[in-house]
Amino acid sequence: MSAFESPFQNASITSALDRKIILHVGEQHFVTTRETLTHQSGFFSSLLSGRWSDVQPDGSYFIDADANLFGHILRYLRRGVLPVFYDSTKGHDHSLYLQVLEEAKYFQIPRLVEWLENKEYLRAVRIIHSDEKREGASDVTETIEGADTEIEYHPVWKTQKVYVCPRGIGRHRGHPEACGRKCRGAQGDEEAKYEDEEVLRMLVVRKETIFDRNICVRGR
């Protein structure tokens, strides 16, 4: 030992190396720690207990699993955040949920198994639909607050009866209450006149996706 080396420093380095674990899964290598793997996984608690000699010549552990699916498992073990596979267009990816569930069972992770088996992830995403009817084509576009809000516009042309002032006053059109005595005098005994007019009506449909991250952290 060098005069400048401390036995405590060497112990610290050795401890750090003991905690570092290299996993060979499929064609990929994953580097993590013993604490991450054994905290919730019965499989890794047993594998790294020292009772089995499954270490490869390069010091890594071979895990017979799909590397892409294992990425989801390791992500959960590292952060403890329960997964939600949701796309605003396609919805929940139930096929992926089932695949990850099988891996969670294999790696013996009870909390993750319960989340997936009981479909608790459905509570993490809430969809709110609303609609609004508008007259005319003005203000068709609007600012969308947040990337999780979608707006659809559905224009419809309707024919409606519109009141026509007997004196031909434009601002009275469609507003019979605006006509006074002179208008009524001009109308005489004739019935009020109405004309057909095409009117644009817009149905605005909003879809808002609300994601509750707290449920993914707590699990309940």
Q: What is the CATH number of the domain that holds 68?
A: 3.30.710.10
Same domain, 91 and 154: no
Q: What is the CA radius of gyration of the chain?
A: 34
* Domain closes at, from 97, 118, 139: 118
Beta bridge partners, 33, equal 20
Q: Are strands 193-211 and 149-164 parallel, antiparallel or unpaired?
A: antiparallel
Within 13 A of 60's CA, how many CA atoms are on the CB side?
15
Same domain, 108 and 139: no
Same domain, 52 and 31: yes
In a domain, 28, yes or no: yes
Q: What is the DSSP letter of 220?
A: -
Domain span at residue 34 reads 7-118
Task: Determine the 3-state secondary structure of 92 from DSSP.
Answer: strand
Same domain, 36 and 111: yes
pLDDT values of the chain reduced to their tens digit, one per residue, 220 residues = 444 455 444 444 445 445 799 999 998 999 999 999 999 999 999 999 877 667 888 888 999 999 999 999 999 999 999 999 998 889 999 999 999 999 999 999 999 999 999 999 999 999 888 888 887 655 555 544 445 788 888 888 888 899 999 999 999 988 999 999 999 888 888 889 998 888 888 888 888 888 898 999 886 6
Other beta carbons within 10 angstroms of residue 123's beta carbon come to 13
In a domain, 215, yes or no: no
In a domain, 218, yes or no: no
Same domain, 108 and 22: yes
Which amino acid would we find at residue 118? N
Domain count, the chain: 2
Same domain, 41 and 87: yes
Same domain, 16 and 114: yes
* Tokens at 149, concatenated: 């809000």
Task: Determine the 3-state secondary structure of 19 from DSSP.
Answer: helix
Residue 137's φ and ψ, nearest 5 degrees, are: -105, 5
Same domain, 71 and 155: no
Q: What is the pLDDT of residue 12?
A: 46
Q: Is the pTM of this model over 0.85?
A: no
* Tokens at 130, concatenated: 């609303």
Same domain, 32 and 97: yes
